[in-house]
Amino acid sequence: MKASKSKPTVNIGLCGFGVVGQGVWRHLKEKSEVFEKKLGSLFKISRVAVRDMAKEREIDLDPSLLCEDPLEVANDPEIQIVCELMGGTEIAREVVLAALSKGKIVVTANKALLCFHGKEIFEAARKHGGHIFFEASVAGGIPIIKALREGLIANRFSLIYGILNGTCNFILTHMEKEGQSYEVILDEAKRLGYAEADEALDVDGWDSAHKASILAFLAHGKWVSTDEMLVEGIREITQEDFAYANKFGYSIKLLAVITRDFETDRLFINVQPTLISRRKVLANVDEVYNGICVCGDVVGTTFYMGEGAGQNATASAVIADLADAVSVLNGSKHPLFSGEISPVEPNEENSLKVSTLGEVMSKYYIRVAVMDIPGVLAKVATILSNNGVSIASVLQQEGTDGTGASIVLTTHKTSEEAIQKMVKDFETTDSVLSPPVLLKIGEFED
């Protein structure tokens, strides 16, 4: 990138030079003149922290730019913007706090870092006059952070829900289309690079939970820990579940749902596989794409869709934050991202409470594998009745192995607390062969 005599240069330090870091470098270099014209400043990557300086990379870096200690980048007085793209939470937290303690601007794509340490990080920004930007932490290239913090600022949000993990969406899409098992499609996702070698963070719902925590903070000013959420993954879903969903016009998606009841001042976050009507746009978001619905009291429902991960999508979001960072350096104020104010009314976080499981209501799909013996359906019905769970429909089918049977039920609205008690009762019943598979039935307004 050529230096500019007439326009100021903004020095950027990259902490992490993996897929995303290299994408940011490449796009900044290829579009340097465009950014200079649009922003009035020239981006210059001055330092790059890497794990292994001897490693061969597709991008040929000047060795003088490299270091192995990301804290060197965070503490470098010449660097104005620190880009944290390492992942993980321990070292990343140290780097972010070190940069903010010096009043620097930090750009991060690290959803886990913000989920676990967001409150501390924002406090550090407020205390030291730093700024934190994190558009790339949720939904990749979809500008959902900017939409919530700026475009929809007039709104209060009763409901935000969506597909926040591309790996799970790919697996569910291809299980449905190809009729293959979870294990077969997971292997395919790993082969294509859509799933990590250790897929647990994605398929068990935690990645979506980290992102939902960030969205809840932006919408409601409260950090909700994963311990306060209801988080379930997709490992137990089978072709039996897709057959039922297809029969009744549903698709199965792993949804993160943030619900706010303004009358009771309660907030709840759940991440669960959900049956959603094919008439809904979100039900038709397939492959590795993400989709998010935001329900505001002024605008109504808005919908956002795009690539939720990958080098280019994430780099796009990082560079958008860099552009906002330049505005700050040029005198524009972003009080939310310096921690000076809450994104909601003063003191609202103190009054807002997380809902109890007894307050969380939904309809459910339940599939139970049972012994194919007389009276088993009556036992199942009794367990539901004893827990106050009302049956809406029931279907019994012979099991695929010829020895057992599957009972598929749907319920009227009931509490998550009652459902969890019901599951425990099933697990101690001799005629039940395995824990039931539960899917929420999503009923969302258009």
pLDDT one-digit tens code per residue, 304-335? 999 988 888 999 999 999 999 988 888 776 65
Structural domain includes residue 86: yes
- The end-to-end CA distance of the chain, in Å, is 47
- CATH of residue 175's domain is 3.30.360.10
For residues 29 and 80, membership in a common domain is answered with yes
For residues 151 and 56, membership in a common domain is answered with no
Confidence of residue 401 (pLDDT cuts 50, 70, 90): low
- pLDDT single digits (tens) 366-386: 999 898 888 888 888 999 999
Alpha-carbon distance of 297 to 132, in angstroms, equals 28
Structural domain includes residue 347: no
Region of residue 351 (left: phi > 0; alpha: psi -120 to 50; beta: else): alpha
pLDDT at 346: 42
Confidence of residue 341 (pLDDT cuts 50, 70, 90): very low
425: closest CA among 373, 371, 388?
Answer: 388
For residues 234 and 99, membership in a common domain is answered with no
For residues 72 and 163, membership in a common domain is answered with no
Alpha-carbon distance of 85 to 18, in angstroms, equals 8
Alpha-carbon distance of 142 to 308, in angstroms, equals 7
Structural domain includes residue 163: yes
Query: Is residue 400 over pLDDT 70?
Result: no
Structural domain includes residue 343: no
pLDDT at 373: 85
Average pLDDT over residues 5-22: 87
- 3-state DSSP call for residue 121? helix
The number of domains in the chain is 3
For residues 384 and 262, membership in a common domain is answered with no
For residues 239 and 260, membership in a common domain is answered with yes
Average pLDDT over residues 347-361: 82
- pLDDT single digits (tens) 125-147: 999 999 999 999 999 889 999 99
171: closest CA among 124, 125, 136, 205?
Answer: 205
Structural domain includes residue 158: yes
For residues 370 and 301, membership in a common domain is answered with no
- pLDDT single digits (tens) 344-353: 544 455 579 9
Looking at residue 365, its amino acid is Y
Average pLDDT over residues 176-191: 95
Q: Is-contact 269 109, C-beta < 8 A?
A: no
For residues 244 and 393, membership in a common domain is answered with no
Structural domain includes residue 346: no
Exposure class string for 365-395: b at 16+ Cβ within 10 A, else e = bbbbbbbeeeebbebbeebbeebebeeeeee
pLDDT at 361: 94
Average pLDDT over residues 58-81: 91
For residues 109 and 62, membership in a common domain is answered with yes
Vertex 153: Cα angle to 148 and 156 (nearest 5):
85
For residues 16 and 122, membership in a common domain is answered with yes
Confidence of residue 49 (pLDDT cuts 50, 70, 90): very high
Catalytic residues: 211
pLDDT at 397: 79
Structural domain includes residue 427: yes
pLDDT mean across residues, the chain? 90
96: closest CA among 58, 67, 44, 134?
Answer: 134
Confidence of residue 402 (pLDDT cuts 50, 70, 90): low
- pLDDT single digits (tens) 146-174: 999 888 999 999 999 999 999 999 999 99
Percent of the chain with pLDDT over 70: 93
- CATH of residue 322's domain is 3.40.50.720
**CB within 8 Å of 189: residues ≥ 6 apart:** 167, 170, 171, 174, 195, 199
Q: Is-contact 95 71, C-beta < 8 A?
A: yes
Dihedral sign computed on CA atoms, order 360, 365, 370, 375: positive
Q: Is-contact 223 267, C-beta < 8 A?
A: no
Alpha-carbon distance of 244 to 149, in angstroms, equals 39
- CATH of residue 369's domain is 3.30.70.260
Structural domain includes residue 355: no
> Residue 210: which domain range?
144-307
For residues 39 and 70, membership in a common domain is answered with yes
For residues 132 and 187, membership in a common domain is answered with no
Both tokens assigned to 18: 């993996």
